[in-house]
Amino acid sequence: MTKLTDYLQTAEAAEVLGVSQNTLRKWAATGKIPLQRNPANGYRLFHRRDLEKFLRRAARPVRPVKVRKAK
């Protein structure tokens, strides 16, 4: 069972990710980060597990692009 303490509000979640609250809101709106709404007041809530998953994906190294030499 998920507890309310497993969720962070926008300001706390933005701090965990190291981004602004507006950036986090945009990412949630575009589906980059899952978002829940508090049924009592409609506040955005972010599950800690989802934030950790997002950070792991973002931390993956980018594969280098092979550049072909011009002939």
pLDDT digits (tens, 9 = 90+) for 14-58: 999 999 999 999 999 999 999 999 989 999 999 999 999 999 988
Q: Who has greater pLDDT, 55 or 63?
A: 55
Q: How many C-alpha atoms does 10 have within 13 Å on its Cβ side? A: 15
Structure tokens at 38: 């508090």
Q: How far apart are CA 13 and CA 65, in angstroms?
A: 33
- Does a structural domain hold residue 65? no
Query: Which segments of 26-67 are extended strands (E)?
Result: 36-37, 44-47
Domain interval for residue 29: 4-58
What predicted TM-score, i.e. pTM, was given to this entire model?
0.77
Query: Number of structural domains, the chain?
Result: 1
- Does a structural domain hold residue 42? yes
- Stated as kind and residue range, the H or E segment containing 43 is none
Q: How far apart are CA 42 and CA 60, in angstroms?
A: 33
pLDDT for the residue 27: 96
